Structures are given as C-alpha cells and as structure tokens.
Chains A and B, each alone.
Chain A
C-alpha cells in the first residue's frame, strides 16, 4: 500500500514537474459536511461549495487576516481620488485548468455578464454601483462606478466574485452548462474526481501561476455526515483537517489536546458571523420594542457563550461585530436580568401569547441553544414553543416570514455595507430570501444612514454614521444578537500555513504545506 502510493507520487511528480528526484507525495484529508451540491462557485455559494471551490477558483483579490486586500489574480490596482475609477492589473501567464489563457476579457465576462446574472450578492453591486467594466488591454481591467462605493475593495474575494472562464460559458445557459460538473478555474487545485457521497479529490495544478505553489499534492475532501463519527475519524487519523463546525464544540478541546493536533479560530475574519434571533416585527407582542427589550434581558447570553458554545466567541453588543471595522461599543447594553425582563414584559402588555421559535437545523449545538433560550424565556413567563425543521423547511419558513422568532447567523463580509445593512434596510424586505430583512424592520432613518455610509469615501464620516446606526438598532432591537461566533479549525500540526487569509481553509491550501 505504502509502496504503490509512493510509486504513484513519484510518477506524478516526474511526469508533471520534470523533477528527477522522487519526493514523497503529500496528501491531506479534510472533512466536508454537508456534501456540496455543486463546485461551480459562480452558481453556488453555500458554505461547503465555498470551502472547496475557493481552492479551484480565484478572485481578483485575497484578504489577509486584517481584511487588507492582497494580490491574487490582480497583481496591483489603482483607485482614482474621486473613488469612482478602479484599475486592476492582472497577473501574467495565468492559465485556466484546460490550458486556455486567462485575460481581461474573462474578468469583464465574469463581473459584467456571468455574476450579474446568477450571483445574488454580486448582482446588487453591479446593478446599483457599477457604471461599466471594461478590458483596457489583455492584462488590465477598468471598473467605473456610478458613485463612490468603498466596500468594493472588500467584495472581490473568491466567493463574492469568482473568475469564470468566458470561453466555456459565453453564450450558453449558465445553469445547465454541462461544464458545471467539471469546474474550470485558475486556482491552485484541479478537480480530479468527485465520488458522490464519498469524497472530492483535488490534485495540484502543475501550471499554477505562482511559482512553487501549491505545495500539497492532493486533497481529499471526505463526506462524513455524523459529527461523532467525524471526531472519531480525526482521532483515528483518517482525517487531517476539521474545518469549523465539523465537530461538536465539546470535542474541540479534546481533539485539540491530542498529540500533534492544532487548533485555530483564525480564518473567519471575512465572515465574522454573528448569530442572532430574527424577530418577526409585523404583529403581536413582538412588534413592541419594550417586549423585545424584555426578551433581550431574559436571555442569558453568557450561558450561551460559556456553556452552549463551551467558551467560544463573544457576546455581541450590537449589529456590527467587534472584530470588524466601524464597530462602536458605546451602545445600549442588555445584561442578563430576569427581573428587569419580567418588568419590561409586563409593561408591554404581553398576555401569554404563544411565540414560535424556529430552530436552525445545523446540528446539536443549535438545538441545545434553542432549548436554553426557550428555558430562559419560559422562566420570565414568555410562552415559547420550539419549531424544528430541516434545512429546506427552515429556509422556507424564514424566507416566507412564517415565524415569530428564528435563529440565524449572518456573515459580516468585511464591510457593513455588504454584510450588515442587508438585514436592516427596508429595501431588503422581500419574501424568498432568508438572509434579507426577514423581520420586516423599517426605519427611514436607518435606511438613510446606511445609504449615506456606503456612498461616503471618508472613513471618519462613515464611522460616525455607523455609530449612529448601532445606537438606533440596539435601542429598537430588530434582531436579538446572541453571539459573535468563533470558529475553530482543527488540524494536524504538521500542516503549516493553512490559515493565513481572512477566509481561512476556503482558500488556504494555496500556501499550505506539510512537514
């Protein structure tokens, strides 16, 4: 077994790299759960797709853990002083996995045609902010904006704006193109085999434009549906990397303590997810601000952080995560205070109506959390009934506003204009999107502040506006913020430089190597 593996590696290296000296092949086994439906990142941006496809596709930019833009397919860039013109210079000698050259035409096609049509997060940016995207020459792209839009520079990572090969997709029906099953990107890894239900096998792209990268030869993303089985698989050595959320939080400490196992909470700076309970503000007791404030005092958020999440994460103060820009701690603070909660709830005139709390179907920990919150609320006399559902049911109910309260967590995506405002502005009240303003919160002042902040080039002015928004929102409580989530990635310590960017494992294998 060892021998054949070795021989295979040798053959591969010798043939592809022209190396004469045989070198031990390095293989990494990573858990992926659930199995992604598709690896074509332009069409699917769910978590598992992003985790794998970020190593197949690339965006113009990458971000370090301080969320500063770094070169990726764009080698360098210039921004005009008025903040309206962005010029990107592309890397030279970049090839698609099928050998075709990557040019500025591909960028224009991706941003202006492909993503505009299919990417729900990119579409509002092109439609509302961008005047034109054009290829100046094969290695230069110019983007002209309608008005200044600072967040553009944080919106060009691989999941938000992946580069799509024009020669494959132009003129076809994007969603049914057979090439969707054999993704072609420019990234450091190529899809070798996808054994549905079992594993996804990526092999290193020998023509990768960054010399000497990637360093790991093969990655197997293994599908293991049960969390307990995943923990055992890591412990028995079947698995090398457990991306965030793969195992029960209580297993994190135990697994990290194993010999040769390391843990990091890094790599989630771009996402910086905040978990909250979205509240349906349209009718009933929940439409009353006082009642919601009572709920906020009733929920023991520290218990959630300390016990349910076993100490991971921080209790948030408001809509903007403390780890991202424009965070302002000077807001209304809600302590765990059942007596005050009872008082506020009594004040609101609550008469014991049943309130349905929809669980998030993402595993045991969310179940426990829902149970703890329900118990908190029952303790102050709020009649809560849990509703559980599978992913489809949760999506349906949340996006159809068929809930009283629902658990959710949303990514901050580097800038409040992209990741935060979407949950609070009234223009985003639309059925069909579980990640929009599902509660129906509508406040013209908030709308105006968010709009002004996104169109403002001056950072200080933006900060002022965001601070004001945070004050208003923490008073009105359109959602009940529960936790700034911290996401532990567990891996074998001999894998180095795995988490170096703001999206961690999602594009981390470009630079990772194994001792």
Chain B
C-alpha cells in the first residue's frame, strides 16, 4: 500500500519533470542556428528555394515559434512524439524500434556495475591495506581515468580481433535467423563487450564509493556494538557494514543514471549497437529535431525510471525511508 502510494507519487512527479524537460528541450534546440529544411534538402545534392519552401510548409517550420511550441506540447501530451521528415516515419516508432537495445545495454551495464562495483568495493575495504585492496583500487582508478572509447576499441581489438572470442559490432548475428534460446545466447554474446565497456567506468566509481562508504560505516557505533556481541568480522562486514554502506552507493547510482544513458551514445557508436543513443547522434548531425527531441524525452524518462528503481531498492534496503513516507 505504502509502496504503491510511493510509486504513484514518484511517477506523477516524474511526469511533471518530463513535461518540463520536454519544453526546455524544445526551447534549447530551437534557439540553435541551423534550418532543418535546408539540411534535409542539402542531402539531395542540390536544392532550390522552391523545394525549401515546400519542405517548410510541409513540416510546419513556417509557423510562428509559439505555435510550433503549442503544437509540440499538445502532441507530446498525447504521446505523439512527432514525425521524422528525413526518415518518413513517426518518431515514436523509430524510438521504440531502438529502445529495447538501449534498455538492454544500459540496464545490464547498470546492474553489472552496481553488483561488481559494490562487491569489489567490499572486498577492497575488507582487505584495507592488503595488496588486493591496492590492486582493486588501482584497477578501478585505471578504468575511471581512461577514455571510454579507448577502452571500447582496445576491447574490440583484444577480444574480437586477436582472441576471436566475441563479436565486435551489432546486436545479434545478422542473417543468422536464430530464435528462442539460441537468439538470446547470441544477443548475450554481442552484449558482453558494450555492456562491459559502458559499465566499467561506473564500476570504478562504485568500487571507490563502496570502499569509502564501508570504511566510514566501519567506524559507526553499531559496528562497535556488533563487535561487543562477539560477532566474527565476516558477519559484521556482511550484516552490518555492507548493508549500511550500500545506501549512499545506491543513491549515487540513481543520480548517475543520467550519465549512464548519456554514455551509451559513445558505446553504441563504437559497437554499432542499434540503440537510441546513436539515433540521437545521427539525428543531431542531420538536425532532425523531432527525433532529437523525442530521444531526449525518452532518455530522460529512462533516467527517471532508473531513479525510481534505485529509490525502490533504497526503500527495500533502508527501512527508515518507508516509515517516514
């Protein structure tokens, strides 16, 4: 009951935020120079004023700015994200085609980085000062400090080209016509490199966060209590320190969802992963505003989704939140 109320509240809040973001995006993008009609015409190899005018009328670009904004907001309220002039398709259907891939990529990167990050962070904190702590801290710092795309390309060279273990591009083996479990396996094989690459940076962040958090919690009074009860260090670590230390990490993870989704642009580009990040980048270079706005809208929704998810996790891990409403 409490949980449902919470979810309703969060979703309602999310919708308001989304609407505001949608309008903000529209203002930002239309403040920019670059005439979409021209870009679109330019692709044809030649263009004249007549054609440009045709295009402007057809796509409502000739209307006053406020009218455009009105039309835009009105259609967004009806879940109509507009129509892409270049691709001759509705933006929603273009995005929905790509969304599963992005969800899969960001979702698994999110889960992997949280899991691996907290586990490694725990290990490092437990072995504080030991060589394995040094190793974990150093490696995570390395992943943190190396450009994402460089890691992506290196992993392609190592795992695809040199070792031949994993495919380097795409979402599945194209033309293999697999189905069922075989297809899942195939997608999984394709997922490993991009998800790993995207997740590594965040894993590094969570390792360091978890480690610091663990060390801080280790100084808490209740840990002293646990020790005074005669609990073994392992039990104290698992039941007392880790469970409390994970809370700030979960909060951080929620806050970083925006970065995760943004980071997908790069990963999707290098691994030819057919997600909305690349859709956005292509739309940007073509000034395909309806798509650009649509992707921003959907990815913001995605971030809000991740936020709600982390808040849910938080509520499960921390009983104090639920009680206070």
Contacts and interface: CB of A to CB of B under 8 A. Distances in A.
Interface of A: 1, 4-5, 8, 27, 29, 34-35, 37-38, 40, 44-46, 119-121, 175-176, 180-181, 195-199, 201, 218, 220, 222-226, 228-230, 232-233, 235-236, 238, 361, 390-393, 395-396, 399-400, 422, 430-436
B52 interface: yes
A197 B168 contact: no
B43 A44 contact: yes
A197 B97 contact: yes
Contacts of A38: 86-88
Given A121-B45, A121-B46, A232-B160, A176 B88 contact: yes
B42 A433 contact: yes
A180 B174 contact: no
Given A222-B169, A430-B49, A197 B174 contact: no
Given A229-B156, A236-B167, A220 B43 contact: no
Contacts of A422: 46
B234 interface: no
8 contacts: A37-B286, A38-B86, A120-B44, A196-B279, A225-B269, A392-B286, A396-B35, A432-B41
Nearest to B168: A232
A117 B286 CA distance: 23
A430 B34 contact: no
B48 interface: yes
Contacts of B167: 236, 238
B270 A229 contact: yes
B45 A435 contact: yes
A226 B45 contact: no
A399 B45 contact: no
B160 A236 contact: yes
A223 B175 contact: no
Contacts of B70: none
Given A119-B44, A232-B157, A434-B42, 14 more contacts: A37-B43, A175-B54, A197-B98, A229-B271, A232-B161, A236-B161, A238-B169, A361-B285, A390-B284, A392-B284, A396-B42, A399-B42, A431-B49, A432-B38
B44 A195 contact: no
B174 A1 contact: no
Q: 5 nearest interchain CB pairs?
A: A197-B274, A120-B46, A395-B42, A37-B86, A198-B274
Contacts of A236: 160-161, 164, 167-168
A27 B173 CA distance: 13
B94 interface: yes
A431 B164 CA distance: 51
Contact of B178 (A1, A432, A434): A1
Contact of B47 (A238, A393, A399): A399
Interface of B: 33-35, 38-39, 41-49, 51-52, 54, 58, 86-89, 94, 97-98, 101, 153, 156-157, 160-161, 164, 167-171, 173-178, 182, 269-272, 274-275, 278-279, 281-282, 284-287
Contacts of A176: 58, 88
Contacts of A1: 173, 176, 178, 182
B167 to A, nearest CB: 7
B185 to A, nearest CB: 11
A399 B45 CA distance: 11
A46 B88 CA distance: 15
Q: Which of B44, B52, B161, B274 has the most CB of A within 10 A?
A: B44
Given A121-B45, A236-B164, A391-B285, A218 B175 contact: yes
A311 B62 CA distance: 48
B65 to A, nearest CB: 19
Given A198-B171, A218-B175, A393 B34 contact: yes
A180 B272 CA distance: 25
A196 B169 contact: no
Nearest to B171: A198
Nearest to B93: A196
A228 B153 contact: yes
A436 B46 contact: yes
A192 to B, nearest CB: 11
Contact of B272 (A220, A226, A390, A399): A226
A199 B174 contact: yes
Contacts of B39: 391-392, 395-396
B97 A196 contact: yes
B282 to A, nearest CB: 6
Contacts of B41: 120, 432-433
A120 B307 CA distance: 49
A400 to B, nearest CB: 8
A253 B95 CA distance: 38
B174 A175 contact: no
A291 to B, nearest CB: 29
Contact of A432 (B47, B174, B279, B284): B47
Nearest to A223: B272
Contacts of A399: 38, 42, 47
Nearest to A198: B274
Q: Which of A232, A235, A431, A432 has the most CB of B within 10 A?
A: A432
Nearest to B288: A37
Contacts of A120: 41, 44-48, 51
Given A196-B94, A396-B38, A4 B178 contact: yes
A12 B221 CA distance: 73
Contact of B287 (A27, A199, A392, A432): A392
Contacts of B156: 228-229, 232
A223 B169 CA distance: 9
A225 to B, nearest CB: 5
Contact of A195 (B168, B274, B278): B274
B76 to A, nearest CB: 21
B98 A5 contact: no
A238 B46 contact: no
Contacts of A435: 45-46
A5 B176 contact: yes
B201 to A, nearest CB: 18
Contacts of B153: 226, 228-229
Contacts of B43: 37, 44, 46, 395
Contact of B282 (A34, A218, A233): A34
A75 B47 CA distance: 32
Given A46-B44, A232-B161, A175 B177 contact: no
A222 B88 contact: no
B175 A433 contact: no
